[in-house]
Homo-oligomer: A and B are copies of this chain.
Amino acid sequence: MRSTNIIKTLLASGLALAAIHSARPASAFDLDTGNAALEVVVQTAAPVILSTVSPSDASLILRVTAVTTTAWFDAIAPYGPTTVGVYSRLGRRPPGESVTNRNKNIALLYASYRTLNSLIPKEADVWTDMLLSVGLDPNDTSTDITTAVGIGNVAGAAVVSAREHDGMNQLGDEGGCLYNCQPYADYLGYSPVNTAYVVKDASRWQPNITTTGNGIFLVQQFVTPQWSVTTPFSYADPSIFFSPPPFMSRWKGNGFGKGVGFADYKEQADQVLQVSAALTDAQKMTAEFFNDKIRSLGASTAFAAATHGLTLDEFVQLDFLVNLAAFDGGIATWQEKLRYDAVRPFTAIRVLYGDTPVQAWGGPGKGTVTDLPASQWKSYLNVADHPEYPSGSACFCAAHAEASRRFLGSDNLGWVVSIPQGSSLVEPGITPAQDITLSFATWTQFEEICGMSRNWGGVHFLASISSGRDLCSPIGDLAYEFVKAHIAGTTP
């Protein structure tokens, strides 16, 4: 039963895990009593992920967290009574080595060091400092698996070896690339039917034009379509998963005439416009909260660990579980995104209404306006770099919630997040007008609100949210069974 100051600080502030960075100096960390996964690795990696991997996509962030938490799980497996690693079987250490957290912490720190150097090699100095900050030697490359250092190094190397060519193209060398290869580049050859300029098929995805405001404009490309063919942890073949077609996204008319499906197509686009026109501060801030996966998904696990008083082992198991659940959910979701290549709301609204004035949110600080040319409508959240259906976030939250329910044995969550006045990233200084709180009494509420927030943010139609949840809730169960079997040591 542990509840560290750092977690209390986090919960009280309602801020991202990144806030840990300044909450407690790493030098104060105690290898015998601390939780190095949360207090050292997350503390070090969260700011790096936020600044280096982000601004990015959940696909890329989830892969970093899934691979790193796998390394934690495998590194401490030899210290449990029955646990076996996912990518290594390093025997079992005598119980006397687990009287304190020291050996487990050392093993997971070295395993993290190996995986983070593989995942984000540009930040090698940060990973070196991470070990130095707790008095460990980054140059210790021991592979003696009777020692914590050796276990960490071997377990980490095994995870790296298994995942570097898992299909995500982390090294850029998939698809026959020899020169000028880029990490995570698409090697499936996805090409959108619509361009940012011309919509040929109003049912299909249109890449959006983006800018940082500096005068350079760029057009989206589907991020990591190869996630759909990446090796899952908890099931063999994603083709067993299927979402029903996004019927309401089908522009069934003859060309752009108003055909059979027109009423449905218009109805779901109008629903997004109606939500946009009536956006509340709570909806805006909820949309922003769930748009930040570390602040929502990541912090929810830290909160649950504190309220349930999880041990180091239990925290590592739960954090690995929820990350692999979301990651494996993402594989199935990307398969369906690729299958349907579905239109985003911004395109549907433009196609339907062109320059006709509509009533909607008019952009940062503008509130609801009635004379907005539909072609100038913008979703409250920036739209992510992939087709619309099904919703990735609805999937991740559903898989995360189901896995958490199963592991913790309860649907209770009881999380209250404080949102200070003016803390919006979209409308800084303006929204929310007053301090507000977001409350999640249960995991079920958490996943439901998470899903809806994508509609409030204007980036998803309703059907995409229920389909994302239906697709990935069962994957949360598979992930739980997978981790449970590894904890029990009953996997082959």
Distance of A48 from chain B, by nearest CB (Å)? 11
Of B52, B209, B213, B216, the residue contacting A385 (CB under 8 A) is B216
Distance of A257 from chain B, by nearest CB (Å)? 24
Query: Known interface pairs A191-B195, A372-B178. Does A183 touch B224 (Cβ–Cβ under 8 Å)?
Result: no
Kindly state whether residue A254 has any CB partner on chain B within 8 Å: no
> B residues within 8 A CB of A371?
178
Kindly state whether residue A363 has any CB partner on chain B within 8 Å: yes
Contact A198 B191 (CB under 8 A): yes
Query: Known interface pairs A191-B198, A209-B221. Does A53 touch B178 (Cβ–Cβ under 8 Å)?
Result: no
Please classify how large the interface on chain A is, using the bins under 10, 10 to 19, 20 to 34, 35 or more: 35 or more
Contact B214 A53 (CB under 8 A): yes
Kindly state whether residue A100 has any CB partner on chain B within 8 Å: no
Segment of A25-33, A54-62, A305-313 engaged in the interface with chain B? A54-62
Dominant SS at the A interface?
A: loop
Kindly state whether residue A320 has any CB partner on chain B within 8 Å: no
Contact B185 A217 (CB under 8 A): yes
> For the complex, what is the distance from the CA of A351 to the CA of B196, rounded to whole Å?
23
Of B179, B183, B378, the residue contacting A369 (CB under 8 A) is B179
Closest to A177 in B: B376
Distance of A455 from chain B, by nearest CB (Å)? 19
Give the one of A54, A217, A220, A378 with max B CB within 10 A. Answer: A217
Closest to A376 in B: B179
Closest 3 CB pairs of A and B: A184-B215, A218-B218, A191-B197
A positions within 8 Å CB-CB of B: 52-57, 59-60, 122, 176-186, 189, 191-192, 195-198, 207, 209-211, 213-221, 223-224, 362-363, 366, 369, 371-373, 376-378, 385
